[in-house]
Amino acid sequence: MIVRPFRALRPTREMVSKIAAKPYDVVTEEQAREVAKVNPYTWYKVTRPEIHFDHPVDTLDPQVHVKGKEHMEWLIKNGYMFVEDKPAIYIYQQHWRDHVQTGFFATFSVDEYIENKIKKHELTRKDKEDERVIHFKVVGAQTGPVFLMYKSRPEIDELIMKHASGEPEYDFVDESGVRHIVWVLKDDNEIQKIVDAFKDVDAFYIADGHHRAAASVRTALDLRQENPNYTGEEEFNYFLAAIFPHTQLRILDYNRVVKDLNGLSEEEFMKKVSEKFTITPWDGIYKPERKHTIGMYLSGKWYKLEPKPGTYDENDAIDSLDVSILQKNLLAPILGIENPRTDKRIDFVGGILGIEELQRLVDEGKFKVAFAMYPTSIEDLIKVSDEGKIMPPKSTWFEPKLKSGIVVHLI
């Protein structure tokens, strides 16, 4: 697999904590506006350029993204950001609660994505892709990293860890309590060791950022058409990502809440659920403790649900996922939620908010029933990706999130 150093556009040490921002797609426009009110430097002014306007705008309009480009140029002009003097790899370590993960920022091959050597597990929406393609082309940069992983190898992991020491270039704690540490690796010999170490790796896997990856590839294909004499070495042939060994990543639960019981009484609902699941009433909050256990909260009470034999195929990468078991045996046939991507009666709650959030949403009457899921495993994600299959929507919630604006790839 190809790992390629690059000359990042990046903040000065003094400005990194002010500029760096969450991925554009995990904050609402209103949240980005609130940050921008108190922080004029925020990278949201690049990745969410609609916040420059005091009226609704169409983010498929290239002129909206011109505002993002102008903000990036303003940061450069005023010396808040600069372009690296030579290609580098950026060792990236995140500390969150009791968890540490160490990887690096680099650029990765568009062609290897096209050849499916960079494997996916999610469907993407064309409208979201379209918006990012316009963004990347107008701004002239990949403004946020894709989140990649590789199957851990001790010799590669150690090679990366060797450089996660000494005086870092950046070391700051963000608004979510995540500590971000970056070391800039410019030594050509050491970079080459990392590049060479990955040459016999078979595949990379997208953990998060499928739309950013797909949009980067579409941007490259567009620019190749516009530049028929391209050599393959142009920056647009590569996309920005941070990559980590799979053993260091953490997937949190991604839970479900539903607004009604599809016309059923609670008694009728429980009877139907009991046909496919063993139901155990639970004292206090029930947080699933292993695969194939699901928590259910209804009318002030928690229950443990365990799927009965015959409700799923343990040998099928998709069918054996807990989110699939719940969808196939309860959400669709009992609650009538055939397409959780589009049905307005269901919502999804990231595990970062805690199991108590599910209880609160039901207790306040916003939803009728909640389902607490055991987190999808990294191994399940790899298995699904290797088989070329697509996970059900909202199967994984990676935490901590990568920051945008720490390093930017100019194309």
Residue 4 placed within a domain = no
Q: What is the pLDDT of residue 352?
A: 86
Whether residues 282 and 241 fall in one domain: no
Q: DSSP E strands: which ranges in 197-356? A: 204-208, 238-245, 251-252, 254-258, 277-282, 294-298, 301-307, 346-350
pLDDT band (50, 70, 90) for residue 81:
very high
Q: What is the pLDDT of residue 378?
A: 95
Whether residues 206 and 91 fall in one domain: yes
Whether residues 239 and 303 fall in one domain: no
Residue 37 placed within a domain = yes
Whether residues 73 and 222 fall in one domain: yes
| Cβ proximity of 231 and 214 under 8 Å | no
User: 């990012």: which residue's tokens?
Assistant: 132
Whether residues 180 and 325 fall in one domain: no
Average pLDDT, the chain: 96
Of 200-209, 285-294, 344-353, give the lowest mean pLDDT range.
344-353
Average pLDDT rounded to a whole number, residues 310-325: 95
pLDDT in tens, 187-244: 999 999 999 999 999 999 999 999 999 999 999 999 999 999 999 999 999 999 999 9
Beta bridge partners of 305: 279, 294
Give me the CATH number covering residue 364: 3.30.1760
Q: What is the pLDDT of residue 394?
A: 86
pLDDT band (50, 70, 90) for residue 123:
confident
Token pair recorded at residue 197: 């170490």
Q: What is the pLDDT of residue 79?
A: 98
Q: Residue 358 belongs to what domain range?
A: 254-374
Count of domains for the chain: 2
Whether residues 280 and 177 fall in one domain: no
pLDDT in tens, 326-335: 999 999 999 9
Tell how strand 89-96 and strand 369-372 pair up: unpaired
Give the DSSP letter string of 226-237.
Answer: H-TT--S-SGGG
Whether residues 147 and 77 fall in one domain: yes
Whether residues 205 and 306 fall in one domain: no
Token pair recorded at residue 302: 């928690």
Residue 379 placed within a domain = no
Whether residues 244 and 266 fall in one domain: no
For the chain, give the percent of residues with pLDDT over 90.
95
Residue 155 placed within a domain = yes
Average pLDDT rounded to a whole number, residues 297-303: 97
Whether residues 267 and 339 fall in one domain: yes
Whether residues 77 and 223 fall in one domain: yes
Tell how strand 251-252 and strand 397-398 pair up: antiparallel
pLDDT band (50, 70, 90) for residue 9:
very high
Average pLDDT rounded to a whole number, residues 397-401: 92
Residue 383 placed within a domain = no
Angstrom distance (rounded) from CA 122 to CA 119: 10
Q: What is the pLDDT of residue 179?
A: 98
What type of residue sits at position 391?
Answer: M
Angstrom distance (rounded) from CA 367 to CA 259: 4
Angstrom distance (rounded) from CA 409 to CA 250: 26
Is the predicted pLDDT of residue 351 greater than 90, yes or no? no
Q: What is the pLDDT of residue 393?
A: 83
Residue 3 placed within a domain = no
Q: What is the pLDDT of residue 258?
A: 98
Half-sphere exposure of 349 (CA within 13 A, CB side): 22
Residue 97 placed within a domain = yes
Rg (CA), the chain: 23
